């Protein structure tokens, strides 16, 4: 078994060449403008609009993904309502609901994609339901058509937690051409996280993409305390503004996005090759951007053994995203036991290291170690 001399972490952020970042800092220094809708933020917004092919009127940037979600939910009018969502996600998806006074109602997931199941969600819709929040978990795309049908049939909003799915596009086939549509264009709203543990980041950051351009003004207001000039305040907003250094990091990382995506595919392929003769390790294949490398083991004991021995014997720090399940945490324990498929997946899943620059021979060695531990 290979023991790495330096720890291998589940992910490392891409960092742009320092010289390029310094050049951007010189501009910030000369502007003497650090936050509050600065010129670099505006440029970042333009570049994101171009990359995603979404009009600038349908985007809003925030200082992190959690506050983006919170304000997005609030602007959609979800306070006081029930919202159907998945327990197989990071806590932020539900925390942001509770923080605006909505109640998460948990429905089970699809056993293959691990994303919220539209069929399970439909069974829980009541007159109190105002929205469904599916998560494109690990970069696995949800059944967006199924959710669109629910949105239309019941008049509920569909708000995607798209934290993991930056760089994923839907192919729309026309008679004469194939159109590339950002996954952020599905539903009424989507949130992308730009945290450094994501394949694309801006130090910290969050982006909302929304169908109705009228929401932008509300979101811009909410992220800046809901104050207007010096004399007026119209709502209880907060401070969720992205600053100029974050925007600069985002701009520099966006230049590299194609390489970042390509490299994740290479890492995934290396794992897939080594695991191809090992049915005890089931690589989950559905992610389009390969933002994470989730694998499923036959049971909880095997997963725990691999997780522990990778650390102790190999110096490899995998993560059990998303275990425990949200419904195992105190704030959501009211729904404990209600989602058996998600519970089973959470008990068997492990996400293996992947990031730009992780040497491919190290990926192969990690996979060989996993096979050896599994036996
Ligand atoms: N929705 C979903 C589905 C999400 O997954 C998330 C965030 C959100 C919403 C909320 O978006 P944000 O508000 O975060 O924008 C991490 C992240 O903090 C969190 O952003 C992420 N999901 C979640 C899945 O994972 P931890 O506690 O696992 O992070 P941490 O500090 O243990 O870092 C993970 C690994 O990355 C470590 O091995 C160290 C390495 N690392 C980390 C950072 C921050 C670095 O090498 N450099 C770094 O700068 O939560």
Sign of CA dihedral 45, 48, 54, 60: negative
The predicted model gives 29-47 an average pLDDT of 98
Atom of ligand 1 nearest to the CA of 137: 3
Sign of CA dihedral 230, 233, 239, 243: negative
**pLDDT-based confidence at residue 108 (cuts at 50, 70, 90):** very high
- pLDDT score for 79: 98
Task: Report CA-CA distances (Å) from 305 to 135, 277, 295, 354, 356.
Answer: 28, 20, 14, 20, 27
Q: Is the pTM of this model over 0.95?
A: yes
Task: Calculate how far, in angstroms, residue 195's C-alpha sits from the geometric centre of ligand 1.
Answer: 6
Residue 235 CA to residue 226 CA, distance in Å, equals 5
Burial (Cβ within 10 Å: 0-12, 13-18, ≥19) of residue 9 = middle
Residue 197: other Cβ atoms inside 10 A: 19
DSSP structural state of residue 253: H
Task: Calculate how far, in angstroms, residue 172's C-alpha sits from the geometric centre of ligand 1.
Answer: 32
Task: Calculate how far, in angstroms, residue 73's C-alpha sits from the geometric centre of ligand 1.
Answer: 21
Task: Calculate how far, in angstroms, residue 197's C-alpha sits from the geometric centre of ligand 1.
Answer: 5
- pLDDT score for 157: 98
The predicted model gives 132-146 an average pLDDT of 97
As for ligand 1, residues whose beta carbon falls within 6 Å of it are: 9-13, 64-66, 89-90, 92-93, 135, 161, 163-164, 193, 195-197, 206, 317, 319, 321
The predicted model gives 240-257 an average pLDDT of 98
Q: Number of helices (H) and strands (E), helices first, in the chain?
A: 12, 16
Contacts for 57 with CB less than 8 Å, ≥ 6 apart: 213, 216
Residue 243 CA to residue 276 CA, distance in Å, equals 45
Atom of ligand 1 nearest to the CA of 66: 13
- pLDDT score for 56: 97
- pLDDT score for 344: 98
Residue with the nearest Cα to atom 33 of ligand 1? 197
Task: Calculate how far, in angstroms, residue 206's C-alpha sits from the geometric centre of ligand 1.
Answer: 13
Residue with the nearest Cα to atom 17 of ligand 1? 197
Rounded to the nearest integer, the mean pLDDT of the chain is 97
């Amino acid at each position: 078994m290979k023991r790495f001399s330096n720890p291998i972490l589940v992910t490392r952020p891409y960092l742009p060449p320092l010289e390029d970042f310094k050049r951007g800092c010189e501009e910030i220094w000369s502007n003497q403008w650090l936050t509050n809708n600065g010129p670099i933020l505006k440029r970042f917004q333009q570049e994101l609009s171009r990359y995603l092919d979404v009009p600038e009127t349908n985007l809003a940037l925030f200082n992190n993904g959690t506050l983006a979600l919170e304000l997005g939910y609030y602007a959609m009018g979800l306070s006081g309502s029930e919202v159907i969502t998945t327990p197989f996600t990071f806590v932020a998806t539900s925390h942001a609901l509770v923080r605006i006074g909505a109640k998460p109602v948990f429905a089970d997931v699809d056993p293959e994609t691990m994303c919220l199941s539209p069929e399970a969600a439909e069974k829980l819709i009541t007159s109190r339901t105002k929205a469904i929040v599916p998560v494109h978990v690990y970069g696995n795309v949800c059944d967006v058509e199924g959710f669109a049908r629910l949105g239309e049939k019941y008049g509920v909003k569909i708000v995607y937690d798209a934290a993991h799915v930056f760089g994923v596009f839907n192919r729309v086939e026309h008679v004469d051409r194939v159109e590339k549509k950002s996954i952020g264009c599905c539903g009424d709203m989507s949130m992308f996280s730009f945290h450094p543990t994501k394949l694309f980041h801006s130090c910290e950051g969050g982006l909302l993409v929304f169908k109705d351009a009228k929401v932008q003004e509300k979101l811009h207001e909410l992220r800046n305390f809901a104050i207007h000039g010096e004399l007026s305040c119209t709502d209880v907003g907060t401070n969720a503004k992205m600053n100029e250094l974050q925007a600069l990091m985002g701009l520099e990382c966006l230049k590299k996005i194609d390489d970042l995506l390509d490299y994740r595919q290479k890492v995934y392929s290396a794992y897939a090759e080594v695991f191809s003769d090992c049915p005890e390790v089931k690589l989950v294949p559905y992610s389009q951007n390969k933002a994470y490398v989730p694998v499923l083991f036959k049971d909880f004991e095997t997963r725990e053994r691999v997780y522990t021995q990778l650390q102790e014997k190999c110096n490899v720090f995998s993560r059990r995203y998303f275990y425990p399940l949200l419904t195992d945490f105190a704030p959501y324990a009211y729904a404990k036991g209600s989602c058996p498929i998600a519970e089973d997946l959470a008990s068997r899943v492990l996400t293996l290291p992947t990031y730009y620059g992780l040497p491919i021979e190290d990926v192969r060695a990690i996979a060989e170690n996993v096979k050896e531990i599994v036996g």
